Copies of this chain bind each other. A is one copy, B any other.
Amino acid sequence: MNRNKEIRSAGLKVTHARKSILKVLETSKESHLSADSINKILIKKNDDVGIATIYRVLNQFVDAGICIKHHFDSEQAVFELSPIEHHDHMVCVKTGKVIEFEDDVIEKRQEELAKKNGYKIIDHSLVLYVEPIE
């Protein structure tokens, strides 16, 4: 119920749809879900929420900082709960599995490269598209 506070403190009402969507994000084995897969999961639970509402709520969650939205070079966006610690992603092209990782060497290097060009980093996205060895 802790996360419901997040909804409220974002100035949003704690509605059924928002609670359901948040719970799916919290409890699904997949940490990265598309609006469509959230919809399918809710239908399977007999807890149907309109797809329009799912999109609306996810965008509100992103605005509120509760969620992050990724594109992973595909046309379909996926959402994950905002991580406490920043991390990057490794996506297996065979299985679709998403592995999260974090590396200080890379992080630091990025900062240096941006600064060298006269910029500071607002955000970044590193995705490794991988497949199992042999």
Contact = CB atoms under 8 A, between A and B. Distances in A.
Give the most central of A77, A105, A128: most B CB within 10 Å.
Answer: A128
B124 A124 contact: no
Interface size class of A (residues with CB under 8 A): 35 or more
Contact of A114 (B70, B105, B106, B128): B128
Contacts of A133: 115, 118-120
A118 B110 CA distance: 25
B131 A120 contact: yes
Nearest to A110: B128
B124 A126 contact: yes
Interface string A92-109: 110000010101011001
A85 interface: no
Name the 5 nearest CB pairs between A and B, nearest first: A119-B130, A123-B129, A124-B128, A126-B126, A71-B73
